[in-house]
Amino acid sequence: MQAPARKARRTANACVACRQSKIKCSGEEPCINCQRRSVRCEFAEGVNRVVVSERYLRRLEAQVRSQQALATMKNPIMSPSDTPPVAGDSCPTEAAMSTSVSAPSRETSPASQERSIWTSPFALPSTTIKNTKDNKRTWIWLAPSSMWSFTTRLTILMTEKLHRRYPHNAPTLRAKEIYPLRWDVCPASRPPDIAGLPSLDYSLYLFNTVKFHLGQLRFFNEEQFVERLRDFYHGNPAAIAMKYRLWLIQLLLVLSFGTALLCRAKSPDQPPGSRFFARAMSLMPDHASLWKDSLLAIEVLALASLYLYSIDQRESAHIYLGQAIRIAQYEGLHTQLSEEQLGSETVARCRRLWWTLYIMDRHFSYSVGLPMTTQDRDISTPIDPPEHCSQQDLALSLHAKLSRLLSYILSTVYNAERTQLHVFLDTTKSILQTLAGYAHEMEEIIQIRLRNSLDTMPRGTQHITLLYHQCVIVATRPLLLSALIDRLETLTHDRLDTNDFLTLTKPLLCIGIKSAVKTIQILSGTDSLLEVFLLYDLEFTYDAAIHLALTRTLFPELLTTPTTQDGPSPSPSPSQQAHSILDAMIYHGNRIAHARKEGLVHLERLLEEVAVSVSVSVSGSGRRPGRPSSWQTHIPESLQVPAGMMQGGGGHSTAAAAGGLVGYGDGVAGEEELGGPSYTAMEDPQLANVEFLEQIGISSAEFLSIVAQIGPLEGVDGVEGG
């Protein structure tokens, strides 16, 4: 008996003509039917349907978003005609950042839906608090990335969990304006007041003081400024002040900065240097015409914004800086300008001024928690200096790159209140790869500078080192936040299973803790030369102290303080050293440091209550704390905190790391004399470089080692390699 013929199935890849005629197509091009009918055979692209799971689709969408964010992170050194990138303007590690997440990963398991970390203590809608300052604002919005907002959010979160009430009396929630500063506007028709200005020699001294402390940040044309300053004192001051009114404002701002940087007086009401600053701001032209003064207007606005930021008027500082950036964009400073048309000196000045604005914008935006004023995709001016340049220009370039990386971290890691763990790990791997490249650049700079430095850290290198560690702290902070939220959940829910989470994130947690400890170590060595007026050292200390406070509550075994050799009494812990740094700033009259310390102490007390409450909750329910035994069995040697660093203050390591220098600028004198005789006693310069880099916590090999430990993530439930 013959079997019945099987019904033929239509091929899934049919041409347009066969589909319209509803006949079977051979699937070839041209198909048999079209050849027989002598018609054109066409196949429609994209008609086939592919069925994938929703989880896989969401994963691909997340990777596309990450790739787009990474693309904006890159330095788009492109000309208006879309020419290829200028040679030397891209970092090799940035390409690695792109490739690390560009390829689609395999579909994750259902367990990955539960593997996520918190980047913000609160979900949407946005969180606001009542405004307690003396202005007309009704509320204050708590930005996701601002460190001040982060502290306030943690205070609210822990107080509501522990005490079931809102923390109305918390220091950050009842803060008043620290330095209320007001001035009256002077009409443009009235001659400027030039009475009470210091002598020429003291003005030059203040000018050099400002150069010394502000370092590689470029706010003025030095030769032109000094030349006009001498003409002002030797000629007709009233006529020069009337003719060059904006220059007089710049002079008053320089005098205000110089006075503030040298002042150690404890004025209860006014910030240091405010007398000259108020006079400068009263002479400021109307905003409608200020942009016409081009580069000088940009420099004046940038200086004014930095002073306002230094007295904790961050909102006003951000507004003035935004205006400076807008004027700079009108002048094309964010693009690659022509040396043939403008001259090499003018182009170099514009490039330095633009990257100064860029660095300030990234820092201010991080501080207030707002999006960056400018996007990297809109910038084409070279970030790398010319081949023959000073070490100051190299430091400015590396500073700008680290600022760019910080903005990338904020725009990717903190772009939502919760992120899947595998996405976070992929992003963090890219960040560490970039940090490894920048570490290599710093190694090259330090290799040159150690020849003349008596084994101490130059000023510019110190600030860049601290910014480097800040990038690590900010990138790994969500891990501590997630662990804290898990601990708080144990107070109301019967769950504390964090074994897999800690196993996956252990290297990242360790490197973040190490950066916080290194930050405190470097700043502890500055002693009486600690920067008091500019807020950079204060912010580095505060960020690291919060990181260490969270670590002490969540993972205290990682911050064990060794005892001294002379007795059983323990040496100061990194957290105690952070308090000592803040105390030193308070002693020298910094009222902002006093406010920050109040908030820090209050937060530390809440964290201590959390540790006690969680311990009682876990022991009372018969559950074990969710810290895996493997957490304590092996910590890579490269991540272990050396005993000498934990002791702090003493020994040669602190002196070498800090060098007794402050601030973040390069020295004013001797910067071009890098080829002079070497004064180091080390017989092996390469060994000296390695030891010095280890002391300041900068190592490209270490970060590449961490990347290797993070991935590939295959074989782990819910997490796959990127």
Q: Between 222-234 and 200-214, two packed helices, what is the crossing angle to 10 degrees? A: 160
Residue 696, domain member (yes or no): no
126 or 86, which is more confident? 126
Average pLDDT over the chain reads 75
Confidence class for position 432, pLDDT limits 50, 70, 90: confident
pLDDT of residue 64 exceeding 80, the answer is: no
- Give the closest residue to 517 by CA, choosing from 539, 538, 547: 547
Residue 599 pLDDT: 92
Q: How many domains does the chain have?
A: 3
Final residue of a structural domain among 173, 202, 236 = 173
Torsion of CA 440, 446, 451, 457, to 10 degrees: -160
- Mean predicted confidence (pLDDT) in 525-548: 87
Strands 128-130 and 139-141: antiparallel
96 or 258, which is more confident? 258
Query: Which segment of 9-13, 307-311, 367-371, 486-490 scores lowest on mean pLDDT?
Result: 9-13
77 or 512, which is more confident? 512
Residue 134 pLDDT: 65
Task: Quick: pLDDT tens for 697-711.
Answer: 777 777 777 777 775
Task: Quick: pLDDT tens for 547-605.
Answer: 999 999 988 876 765 544 555 456 788 999 999 999 999 998 899 999 999 999 999 99
Clarify whether residues 129 and 163 are in a common domain: yes
Residue 95, domain member (yes or no): yes
Residue 690 pLDDT: 59
Residue 716 pLDDT: 37
Confidence class for position 686, pLDDT limits 50, 70, 90: low
115 or 148, which is more confident? 148
- Are the C-beta atoms of 473 and 147 separated by less than 8 Å? no
- Mean predicted confidence (pLDDT) in 425-430: 85
Task: Quick: pLDDT tens for 369-388.
Answer: 888 888 889 999 998 877 77
Q: Which range, 71-75, 161-165, 474-478, 499-503, is most confident? A: 474-478
- Give the closest residue to 499 by CA, choosing from 676, 232, 265, 716: 716
Residue 34, domain member (yes or no): yes
Residue 689, domain member (yes or no): no
- Are the C-beta atoms of 457 and 655 separated by less than 8 Å? no
Clarify whether residues 62 and 34 are in a common domain: no
Residue 543, domain member (yes or no): no
Q: How far apart are CA 696 and CA 524, in angstroms?
A: 12
| Residue 18: C-alpha distances to residues 15, 34, 145 (Å) | 6, 8, 58
- Are the C-beta atoms of 95 and 137 separated by less than 8 Å? no
The helix or strand, by DSSP H or E, that contains position 360, with its residue range, turns out to be: helix 344-368
Task: Quick: pLDDT tens for 116-125.
Answer: 777 766 566 6
Residue 636 pLDDT: 40
Clarify whether residues 34 and 75 are in a common domain: no
Final residue of a structural domain among 173, 207, 234 = 173
Residue 90 pLDDT: 39
Query: Which segment of 322-331, 635-644, 676-685, 695-704 scores lowest on mean pLDDT?
Result: 676-685
Backbone torsion region of residue 539, taken as left when φ is above 0, otherwise alpha when ψ lies between -120 and 50, otherwise beta: alpha
611 or 333, which is more confident? 333
Residue 29, domain member (yes or no): yes
Residue 75 pLDDT: 42
At residue 555's C-alpha, the angle toward residues 550 and 556, to 5°, is 95
Pair of tokens at residue 537: 């050292």
Residue 651 pLDDT: 37
Q: How far apart are CA 627 and CA 552, in angstroms?
A: 14
Task: Quick: pLDDT tens for 136-157.
Answer: 666 676 777 788 888 888 888 8
CATH of the domain at 25: 4.10.240.10
pTM: 0.75
- Alpha-helical runs (H) found in 453-573: 459-489, 499-524, 536-554
Percent of the chain with pLDDT over 90: 31
Query: Which segment of 286-290, 302-306, 716-720 scores lowest on mean pLDDT?
Result: 716-720
- Alpha-helical runs (H) found in 621-710: 630-633, 643-647, 651-658, 685-696, 700-710
Residue 497 pLDDT: 55
Residue 685, domain member (yes or no): no
Residue 719 pLDDT: 35
202 or 388, which is more confident? 202
Domain hosting residue 69, numbered range: 58-102
Phi, psi of 42, rounded to the nearest 5 degrees: -130, 140
Confidence class for position 177, pLDDT limits 50, 70, 90: confident
Q: How far apart are CA 73 and CA 679, in angstroms?
A: 40
Beta bridge partners of residue 116, listed in sequence order: 420
- Give the closest residue to 701 by CA, choosing from 686, 710, 690: 690
Phi, psi of 106, rounded to the nearest 5 degrees: -70, 165
Residue 17 pLDDT: 83
Confidence class for position 178, pLDDT limits 50, 70, 90: confident
- Are the C-beta atoms of 207 and 257 separated by less than 8 Å? no
Sign of the C-alpha dihedral computed for residues 485, 488, 490 and 493 taken in this order: negative
Residue 373 pLDDT: 82
Residue 698, domain member (yes or no): no
266 or 296, which is more confident? 296
Pair of tokens at residue 82: 């879309």
Clarify whether residues 65 and 39 are in a common domain: no
